[in-house]
Structure 1
Amino acid sequence: MEILSALLSLPLAQIEADAAKLLGAGIAIGLGLIGPGIGIGILGAAAMSAIGRNPEATGNIQTNMILGIAFAEALGIYALVAAIMIGFIF
């Protein structure tokens, strides 16, 4: 928390361009992976609950769960690509 308050107290003119770029890339990857991580956890928990209630539908539930996890994981990969672009290109 002290680091965050120290960063917020600095005027933006004192932060060098490379440091600001890397800070932005770190924030992008950090925030970009929180959502997919939570989503994958919710998907897995819901699938296990559904399988527990209806074991005969395990195949259909697993197929849909894996598809949903793949889409959620794609968002994390997009965040990684955006962070790499911020870090190296801009």
Structure 2
Amino acid sequence: MLLNAAKLIGAGLATISIAGTGVGIGIIFSALISAYSRTPEHQKQLFTYAILGFALSEAIALFGLMLSFLILFS
């Protein structure tokens, strides 16, 4: 009983990374819109950097989700 409760608490704590990822993605794209308005001639390069930042932020969420599944089902 105690082990099952500890697993559920650990899995819940591991999913907190998803909330942080949502905030990070919002910051990335708000900075992209701000950069577009300042220098519209660099749109292609800025978009490439934004997609790279989005992919890295999303990877953190996937790692947290994978960790929570490992905790639950091991």
| TM-score, length basis structure 1 | 0.76
The match for 1:84 is 69
> CA RMSD of the aligned region, Å?
1.1
1: distance between equivalents of 2:56 and 2:62? 10
Cα deviation code 1:38-75 (max 9, x no counterpart): 11111000010000111111111001100110001000
- Stretches of 4+ moved more than 6 A in 1? none
Q: How many residues align?
A: 74
Q: Within 5 A, what are the aligned runs for 1:1-90? A: 16-29=2-15, 31-89=16-74
Question: Which amino acid in 2 is paired with 1:42?
Answer: I
**Structure 2 residue matching 1:69: 3-state secondary structure:** helix
Gaps of 5+ in 1: 1-14
**Percent identity, aligned pairs only?**
41
Question: Which amino acid in 1 is paired with 2:73?
Answer: F
Task: Select between 60-69 and 32-41 the one with higher mean Cα deviation.
Answer: 32-41
| TM-score, length basis structure 2 | 0.91
